[in-house]
């Protein structure tokens, strides 16, 4: 794609986010947005606040280069570091920002503050409050205060829209715009056997895959218990776990205690997950809390039959038995049962693949999603 040339009158969207490490699902949406918004006549700058000592930010730089997103690094030393205020204000003035797009509690608060010094319209996207720490109640309280004061609140799942309405956001300003996937980027190119061979996996063994940050809300401990049950029933399977996080040592220890460590591959963070999806025979979402996970849409687009927990926006995407299998969150027994059902039934896996792909192509096109977002911006700017 050739570089775009913008005029001085092209409106600028500032995508703002606080991030740790290599980021998560929201960053796939944020960093992939600029090239689609360009088609709608917007120039986009992504301003990411992060610890200056965080080595994971380099991985976000690589994603931004891959997706041709203008990424600005803003040093942020934590909750009380208000030096970010003048830094972000300078960015707003330098780039002549027309729309501030926040993606978390701190950027939502900053947007309300900085609008006093720079005229811009305020939009936020609610991705889901899932990563719990001792400060989580404070963050929730700040977001509950900020959201009703934003001009538009975009929610990636219906349950998050309901939560936002309960926070006091007027219904005409609270919009459901679900996550989506670029099906041109996420498209299977190889068979599972070829992909397994490329990763050095045993071609005859069924690969169960999972992708996400290694943290408690993802329920990977439940997945390991389910894997042990599946192996105990004689299934020749192994788990390919893509992601990094604070729970890695704990999960490795759990796999040892369950006697399945030799059947679990901790692949760590991967900037490009497509070759791993291609090697999977079954994808599992074991999360306890989510919004509408990008990884579910990615697995569907890559034609990997999936099992997912019945949480948040997932049942709006997955119809149990038609384009995937749904289980209750936290139940290793249910999860193992659904995994075994797919392991033992190849015709079911083949049918789910086709239905998943149709679902994504018909309902979760990233281009269509960004057209809806651009329409929100157009309305606010009177374009």
Confidence of residue 215 (pLDDT cuts 50, 70, 90): very high
| Averaged pLDDT of the chain | 93
Residues 217-258: pLDDT tens digits? 999 999 999 999 999 999 999 999 999 999 999 999 999 999
Q: 106 pLDDT exceeds 50?
A: yes
Which residues make beta-bridge pairs with 242? Answer: 211, 268
Q: What is the pLDDT of residue 1?
A: 44
Which residues make beta-bridge pairs with 154? Answer: 125, 175
Confidence of residue 202 (pLDDT cuts 50, 70, 90): very high
pTM for this structure? 0.85
Which candidate, 135, 138, 136, 92, places its Cα nearest to that of 115? 92
Helix ranges (DSSP H) in the chain:
25-39, 57-66, 84-95, 105-114, 136-146, 158-166, 192-199, 220-232, 248-258, 274-279, 294-301, 314-317, 332-344, 346-363, 366-381
Do the domains spanning 12-180+365-381 and 192-363 agree at the CATH topology level?
yes
Q: What is the pLDDT of residue 3?
A: 52
DSSP-derived 3-state class of residue 353: helix
Rounded CA-CA distance 211/285 in Å is 8
C-alpha torsion sign, points 161, 162, 167, 170: positive
Q: Domain 12-180+365-381 is classified in which CATH homologous superfamily?
A: Glycogen Phosphorylase B; (3.40.50.2000)
Residues 39-72: pLDDT tens digits? 999 999 999 999 999 988 998 999 999 899 999 9
Q: Domain 192-363 is classified in which CATH homologous superfamily?
A: Glycogen Phosphorylase B; (3.40.50.2000)
The domain spans of the chain are: 12-180+365-381, 192-363
Rounded CA-CA distance 145/156 in Å is 20
Residue appearing with tokens 């040339």? 5
Give the N- to C-terminal CA distance of the chain in Å, as an integer. Answer: 26
Residues 291-349: pLDDT tens digits? 778 999 999 999 999 999 998 889 989 999 999 999 999 999 999 999 999 999 999 99
DSSP 152: E
Which candidate, 71, 26, 27, places its Cα nearest to that of 47? 71
The continuous run of DSSP H or E covering 48 comes out as strand 43-50
Residues 114-148: pLDDT tens digits? 999 999 999 999 987 655 566 677 878 888 999 99
């Amino acid at each position: 794609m050739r570089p775009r040339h913008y005029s001085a009158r092209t409106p600028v969207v500032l995508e703002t986010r606080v991030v740790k490490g290599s980021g998560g699902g929201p960053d796939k949406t944020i960093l992939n947005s600029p090239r689609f918004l360009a088609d709608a006549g917007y120039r986009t700058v992504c301003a990411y606040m992060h610890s200056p000592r965080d080595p994971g930010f380099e991985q976000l730089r690589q994603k931004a280069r891959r997706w041709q997103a203008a990424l600005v690094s803003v040093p942020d030393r934590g909750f009380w570091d208000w030096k970010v205020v003048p830094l972000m204000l300078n960015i707003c003035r330098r780039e002549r920002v027309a729309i501030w797009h926040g993606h978390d509690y701190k950027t939502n608060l900053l947007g309300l503050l900085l609008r006093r010094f720079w005229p811009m319209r305020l939009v936020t996207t609610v991705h889901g409050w899932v990563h719990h720490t001792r400060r989580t109640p404070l963050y929730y309280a700040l977001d509950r205060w900020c959201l009703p004061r934003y001009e538009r609140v975009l929610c990636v799942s219906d349950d998050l829209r309901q939560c936002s309405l309960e926070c006091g956001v007027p219904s005409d300003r609270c919009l459901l715009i679900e996550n989506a996937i670029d099906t041109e980027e996420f498209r299977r190119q190889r068979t599972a056997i070829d992909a397994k061979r490329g990763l050095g996996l045993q071609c005859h063994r069924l690969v169960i895959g999972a992708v996400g940050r290694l943290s408690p809300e993802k329920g990977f401990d439940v997945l390991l218990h389910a894997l042990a049950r599946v192996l105990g029933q004689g299934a020749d399977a192994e788990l390919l776990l893509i992601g990094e996080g604070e729970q890695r040592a704990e999960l490795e220890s759990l796999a040892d205690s369950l006697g399945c460590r030799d059947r679990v591959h901790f692949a760590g963070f991967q900037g490009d997950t497509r070759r791993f999806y291609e090697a999977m025979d079954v994808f599992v979402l074991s999360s306890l809390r989510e919004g509408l996970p990008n990884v579910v849409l990615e697995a569907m687009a890559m034609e990997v039959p999936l099992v997912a927990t019945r949480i948040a926006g997932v049942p709006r995407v997955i119809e149990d038995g038609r384009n995937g299998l749904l289980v209750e969150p936290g139940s290793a027994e249910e999860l193992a049962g659904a995994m075994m059902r797919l392991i033992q039934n190849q015709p079911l896996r083949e049918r789910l693949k086709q239905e998943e792909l149709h679902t994504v192509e018909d309902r979760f096109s990233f281009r269509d999603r960004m057209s809806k977002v651009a329409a929100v911006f157009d309305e606010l700017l009177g374009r």
